Amino acid sequence: MPPNIIVNKSKGTIKRVSMFLWGLPGCGKTHFANTAPGKRLWINFDPDGTSALAYSEDTLVLDYSAETLGYMEQCKTMNPFDLDSILKNDPSIQTVVIDSVSRFVSNAVQFSIGRAPGATFENPGPAGYGFRNRFTIGLVNGVLIATGKHNKHVIFIGHEGQPQTNESGVIQAISILLGGDLQVTVPQQISEVWRMTDNGLERRVTVRQIGLAKPMKTRMFDTTSGYDFIASNKVNASKVDLAVLFKEWQDGNYEKLKLPT
């Protein structure tokens, strides 16, 4: 049956946060994402991807990094990994983390070999890349639907790709390692898209498009006076905590927050 039509009385109907967090390996994405609210379900595709996770009874790991790629078939459904049942059976889970979409994309291309007409390891071709796009969009849509149904936060993690350069080697753009149009179509569906960087002294999070790096966007922060904040540094390894940020936003009826200082 169709959903009921209701009056949208306030911004408080948002309820949960959907986020795409991207950056170079080692910049602190895993640690930062693991400060998200409550018990976290970590769906992992990266080999050794959870090695940076501190032990916590509040972090549950569903590890597909060493599994055969048959799980890709689940991403043709609206309920990948039976996420709907997992969240229904364990209501204490408040956040789902997908780590990483970049690795999933690579696995989807590999899965296409022998299945997509003409796709080879050396040259997946249009059919192979079609598999990649289909399964990646299926994963993201399915996870967004399942977590939205149960009012759970969701964080997608992605790696930063090689800078795009012109014929002279001048950098033209920096973006997420997804391939094709996915670096545009995937973030379009997600409300918070943040880039994380590490200069050796501090780890910064950029929430608004600036310079050559894109995409970044936010509904959570007022960016009229800035575009980034320090997530951690050598003095304070957890200067900014996602659970605290999410609660401040919700408690404030989803009015835009000032950037952390």
Residue 156's beta-bridge partner residues? 20, 98
Whether 45 and 75 have beta carbons less than 8 Å apart is answered as no
CB 158 within 8 A of CB 176: yes
Give the pLDDT mean for 209-232.
Answer: 95
Domains located in the chain, CATH noted: 17-202 (3.40.50.300)
Share of the chain above pLDDT 70, in %: 95
Position 242, amino acid: L
Q: How far is CA 19 from CA 1, 121, 228, 236, in A?
A: 30, 32, 16, 23
Give 122's pLDDT tier (boundaries 50, 70, 90): confident
d(CA 30, CA 50): 8
Banded pLDDT at 209 (limits 50, 70, 90): very high
Question: What confidence score (pLDDT) does residue 15 get?
Answer: 83
Given a cut of 90, whether residue 176 has pLDDT beyond it is yes
Q: In this structure, what token pair is assigned to residue 115?
A: 């299945």
* Gap between the Cα atoms of 253 and 255, Å rounded: 6
Q: Among 219, 226, 209, 223, which residue's Cα sits nearest to residue 246?
A: 219
Q: Is the distance from CB of 39 to CB of 16 less than 8 angstroms?
A: no
pLDDT at residue 13 tops 70? no
What is the 3-state secondary structure of the chain? Answer: CCCCCCCCCCHHHCCCCEEEEEECCCCCHHHHHCCCCCEEEEEECCCCCCCCCCCCCCEEEEECCCCCHHHHHHHHCCCHHHHHHHHHHCCCEEEEEEECHHHHHHHHHHHHCCCCCCCCCCCCHHHHHHHHHHHHHHHHHHHHHHHHHCCCEEEEEEEECCCEECCCCCEEEECECCCCCHHHHHHHCCCEEEEEEECCCEEEEECCCECCECCCECCCECCCCCCEEEEEECCCCCCCCHHHHHHHHHHCCCCCECCCC
**Is 214 buried (19+), middle (13-18) or exposed (0-12) by CB count in 10 A?**
middle
pLDDT at 220 over 90: yes
pLDDT confidence bin for 103, thresholds 50/70/90: very high
Residue 41 near residue 60 (C-beta atoms within 8 A) = yes
pLDDT at 197: 97
Q: Are 60 and 42 in contact (CB under 8 A)?
A: yes
- How far, in Å, CA of 94 to CA of 87, rounded? 9
Rg (CA), the chain: 19
- Between CA 178 and CA 184 the distance in angstroms is 9
Q: Indicate if the pLDDT at residue 143 is higher than 90.
A: yes
Answer whether residue 162 shows pLDDT above 80: yes
Measured between alpha carbons, how far is 89 from 130 in angstroms, rounded to an integer?
34
Question: Mean pLDDT across the chain, nearest whole number?
Answer: 91
Task: Name the more confident of 33 and 235.
Answer: 33
